Structure 1
Amino acid sequence: MTATAAAPDPTMEAIGNAVVLGREGDIESARRDLLAIWQQIGVAGDPFHRCTLAHYLADLCEDAAEALIWDVRALDAADALTEERAQQHHATLHIAGFYPSLYLNLADNLRRLGSFGAAAEHINSAEQHTSALHDDAYGATIRTAINEVHQAIDNRDSTRRASAPGAVQ
């Protein structure tokens, strides 16, 4: 049995293309394209599109407060997302698997802003959701990042992690 994506989704394709631009180092074009797509989607648009776009756009923000806004939007959209909608995009997707990364990002931004108490609450939520992660490279990456952020919170360290998405290496 093979799991394949459902019918073509031009919005997800456009989001994916913008993400590739960002990963290739063209941050400005990626941000511009994602913001243009956000204007089309709107705050009440498809929760899957909003969650995905906001999650990736947050990674392109140097400013922790701006990233936090996008990460909150991603979490809000995930809370509105149905399992059926996620699986329309790909049969293997489960909403539960989104939460470790979403809470991790909120914790990391709150930590960078010096809000260590709130950051600790969100990193604990991320840890509580790790059972939804697979034992694969992605799961290992998220678990490692959760540990890094938890340690940084404990150390009251507000510097950007070198391993953070979008971080300049």
Structure 2
Amino acid sequence: MVNFDPARHIRNVLAEASTVLTQSDGTVLEGISGRPGAGEEALAGMRIGVDRIVLEPGSEFELHTHEGDHILYVLASEGFIHVDGTDFRMRAGDTVYVPAKYPHGVKTDPAVELPLEILAFGVPHAPLDSPHRMTLVGNGEIRESAGHPDAQR
């Protein structure tokens, strides 16, 4: 059982130092940064955690998978998540549950000039600088229709 340690278990995702995110091959994800939130080993030895992710206009996470499930919470702006072959619009206040088995990607809306800010909760959770945080799938590109007004929602 883990004891509560405020030095480790209270983190401010607005004030922590920002880190550059990379793909599993070490390639920098241009225009995407993150700030780590609280995290710890949970039941059954799996790590639970949250991070703040900021996607600058024009940036995207290509199609990828994670070891575990996660929930995205949109803090600010709007963009798209591509899951199971479909683009879904995300706006501030939206939450999205993504099962681990689904390749997915996140893309900013080309018509929006503000960065897309997301809280990403995961179980198990990999640190922002982990080379095993995500695995690219196929050609890794989100459909060109992501900015199309007919996207779901």
Please indicate, yes or no, whether the TM-score normalized by the shorter chain is above 0.5.
no
* TM-score, normalised by the number of residues in structure 1: 0.27
RCO comparison, higher one (Cα < 8 Å, 6+):
2
Which structure shows the higher strand fraction? 2
